[in-house]
Structure formats: structure tokens, C-alpha cells
Chain A
């Protein structure tokens, strides 16, 4: 029997707009649609202009860092809500190496983002060290708009530019013995004041299973709103798992290790009762100190219901069907 599993972008036929309405609206929509579908880079230029000063969260170091190649938005991943305001996205950040308050963007901008290489090693056929720009050229990039759900019960909708994690892994050829992927954030003491807290278990480690890494949603962004990914958002190179709480998506990744040992993440080491290995979004399972039933949208401050797997269940629920005994939601 053929089972049709509905994807995130699909709606029932009954909800489709009648053709006559579409034809009448088409002229009007054309102008508006063209503006909306303009590349995020153009929107960013319109919002912020070419300004580069201390108050500009898009300031790049070095300032002559090349722009990203043009990337087409992949319409397979429709977030179902408006993009978060660009300025909020690049000025409201969690990045513990730079501090634990949300206003770390100016500190983070001191981090040099070129040259930047990523070592991919461990249980692979062809370990290697890759430059970010080389990877962009070799793999190619696309834009995906993902919902982002922080464990702190706020959320954003973000247009990332990058490539699938599986495409990076295919370059190195994972061995059959590899069960997990471990992501290591760069440690640069000269620009990361948080590292002075020597008692924390640096470097910042995150991880996932090899099956999660192979999922089509697992994404390696190198850009945001069509521009090179700024350090405060995890630039120049990070990972994103949109169905998990945001802390699972390692930032400023400099090393990826394929291993048969489950990685113990930074937050799991610090507070395992609150932050576990899986951390899949689930509105029914509260954080020990707050509810996860709703989330506050950054920008509008609107509070909306949280969705199981952050609304990506059609893509990922199958990964967990045989893991009933695991703590999947923390």
C-alpha cells in the first residue's frame, strides 16, 4: 500500500484558492511577490544600506570579505510565518564564548572569520581540512527559511544560506562504524572573553547521530539574509537542526568528528538535568524551570503555540520511532 506522508509545504486540495481568484489577483500579486521574493541580500541592503560602523551589526572583519554567491531560496521549506526582523536576528544572540547576555554582537564582531577552515575527521575514509570558501564553491549554496526555537521559549524565522550537512559528509566518506557526529566550536581566547572562565568544559561541543546528520533538514549555514554569516550568529560556519532546541546547533564550527561514542555536549556536561543529547522540541514537555507550550516570536513579541519537532515532524519523526527509552525532549 502506498502511504502518502504530507510534507510541510503541502495543503489539502480543498484549501487551495479557486483559479478565478488567482487570475484576478495575479497582476496585483506580481508586483508584491517580486518584492518579497527578492534575494535576501537585496532586502538587507535596503534595510541597512552599505554602512559599516560600530553600530552596524553587519560589520565584517576584514571589511573586504567577499559577498556570498547568489543563492536560490528552496521553497520546499516554508516556515508558515513572517521572517523575523533582520536587525533583531543579528543583535539578539546566544553565544556563550562571548557572554551569556543577549547583547554580545559587538564583542563577537571582533572575531576574525577569514581564513577559516574546518577539520572533518574521525571515522571517515578521507579526513580533510576545508576552507569555508572552498566548500561554498565545491558544494554550492541555497537559501532555506527555517523556524528557530530556543530552549528559552523564544523563536525566530531565519533565512539561512548554506548547504546540507550530508553533502559535506559525503566529501569525507563516513565509515559504517561512525554512529555520531561531534561539532566543536572554535576557541579563540583573544576575542572570546567567555573562555576566561576556565572552569567551563570548553571547547563548546554539540553532537547528533549519523542518521540525524543525514536528514535533509540538517543544514550548514554560511550566510544569513543573503550575507556572510556574522560571528554573533555562529559565523562563518555553523550547523542548524531546526527541529531541535537552538542550543543543539553549534556555532562557529572549526572541527567535525565522526565517532562511535555519543558526544557529551557542553550544556549536558554543565546541567544534564535540563539539557540533554536529543533536545527535540516538544510543547508537552516543560523545561524544569518553565513551560515549552508556547513561544515568543522575536520582533512581534507575539506568543504562539510551540509545535512538536518545531513543526518539522514530517521530516524527522521517523528518526525516533525506535528510541522510546531515550530522553528525546530534553
Chain B
């Protein structure tokens, strides 16, 4: 999990350089594969919950891609450490 977190941080840097620091996560997904984000939206809004899309997914997708990936990467590095400390 820590390795995956580190990989996400590297990916975040790569995306910031390639797409620009302001490019939202949704924009990067759209650039990579246009139907991806619309299919995800339809899946969540129609079959899970419109609320989930509006209040959770939208803010995440509208945030800069590098920031989202960095935060997730840091969490993936920190969470195993916190769990180990809690077990001890």
C-alpha cells in the first residue's frame, strides 16, 4: 500500500507537468478517455445516488488532479503506519 501511495505521488508530479497544475482530475480523465468520466457519472447518478455524485465525486473531480493524487498517495503511505501504531 505504501508503494502504491508513493507511485501515486510520482504520478501526481508527472500529471502536473504534463497537463498543468490547474487541470482538474475530471479534465485529465476526459483527456485520457472522453467516455470514462461520463460513464462513471451515469453509473453513480443513476444506479448509486445523485447525491454522491454532486457532493462527493464532483468536488474531487473538480480539484486539481495532482492535488487529489498527492492527497490519496499520502493517505496510502500514512494509513498503514497509523494502523500499525494503533495495534501496538
Contact = CB atoms under 8 A, between A and B. Distances in A.
Contact of B34 (A101, A102, A193, A270): A270
A152 to B, nearest CB: 10
Contact of B45 (A99, A196, A199, A269): A99
A32 B41 CA distance: 46
A99 B42 CA distance: 9
Contacts of A270: 34-35, 38
A198 B46 contact: no
Interface hub of A197, A270, A274 (most chain B Cβ within 10 A): A197
A101 B46 contact: yes
Interface residues of B, number: 20
B24 interface: yes
A274 B39 CA distance: 12
B62 A100 contact: no
Nearest to B37: A199
A271 interface: yes
A99 B38 contact: no
Chain B residues touching A, majority SS: helix
A100 B45 contact: yes
Interface string B44-86: 0110001001100010011000000000000000000000000
Contact of B58 (A197, A200, A269, A271): A197
Interface string A88-130: 0000000000011111000000000000000000000000000
Contacts of A269: 34
A193 B35 contact: no
Interface hub of B29, B34, B37, B61 (most chain A Cβ within 10 A): B34
Given A196-B58, A198-B26, A199-B27, A271 B46 contact: no
A199 B26 contact: yes
A197 B58 CA distance: 7
A274 B38 CA distance: 13
B61 A197 contact: yes
B38 A271 contact: yes
A198 B58 CA distance: 11
Contacts of B53: 99-100
Nearest to B25: A199
Interface in B1-46: 24, 26-27, 29-31, 34-35, 37-38, 41-42, 45-46
Contact of B27 (A100, A102, A198, A274): A198
B54 A99 contact: yes
Nearest to B62: A196
Interface in A143-202: 193, 196-200
Nearest to A267: B38
Given A99-B50, A270-B34, A271-B35, A197 B62 contact: yes
Nearest to B46: A101
Nearest to B30: A199
B54 A193 contact: yes
Contact of B24 (A103, A193, A198, A271): A198
Given A197-B58, A197-B62, A100 B29 contact: no
Contacts of B37: 197, 199
B38 A200 contact: yes
Given A198-B24, A198-B26, A199-B29, A271 B54 contact: no
Interface string A263-293: 0000001110010000000000000000000
A101 B45 contact: yes
Nearest to A102: B46
B70 to A, nearest CB: 20
24 contacts: A100-B41, A100-B46, A101-B45, A101-B46, A101-B50, A102-B46, A103-B50, A193-B54, A197-B61, A197-B62, A198-B24, A198-B62, A199-B24, A199-B27, A199-B29, A199-B30, A199-B31, A199-B37, A200-B38, A270-B38, A271-B34, A271-B35, A271-B38, A274-B35
